[in-house]
Amino acid sequence: MGGSRGWRYAAAAFWIANGLNHFRAPKFYKAIVPPPFEQWKSEVNVASGAAELVGGLAVLPDRTRPAARWWLLATLLAVYWANVHMALRPDKFPRVQPALLYARLPVQGLFAWLTWRGTQ
């Protein structure tokens, strides 16, 4: 990946693709909403998908890139609880090996690193 431009495009593509997935596969994202927010599954899905899309687009222009960094890192932190919920409730996700549910937790750190690199 050549220089900062490559990281910027990789981060933008990652976040835009993930944001779009909230609208392409809402069933999956609604299923991982933690219990305190279950009554607002649809709203949480739309809000998190929109946050990822907006953040991914904001990575591209120089002027909005610094704000995109903090926006996306905050988004990662907010959605991290869905990953914790999945790891703690493997019975709700029988199609995924429990070990993979736990493996997802540190992978979020890689996404934070990609976001940081892509917003420099």
Tell me the DSSP string of 52-100.
Answer: HHHHHHHTSSTTTHHHHHHHHHHHHHHHHHHHHHHHH-GGG-TTS-HHH
* Tens of pLDDT, residues 41-70: 999 999 999 999 999 999 999 999 999 999
Q: Which residues of the chain have pLDDT under 50?
A: 1-2
The domain segmentation of the chain, as residue ranges, is 3-118
- pTM for the model stands at 0.90
Across the chain, which distance is largest between two alpha carbons, in Å? Answer: 45
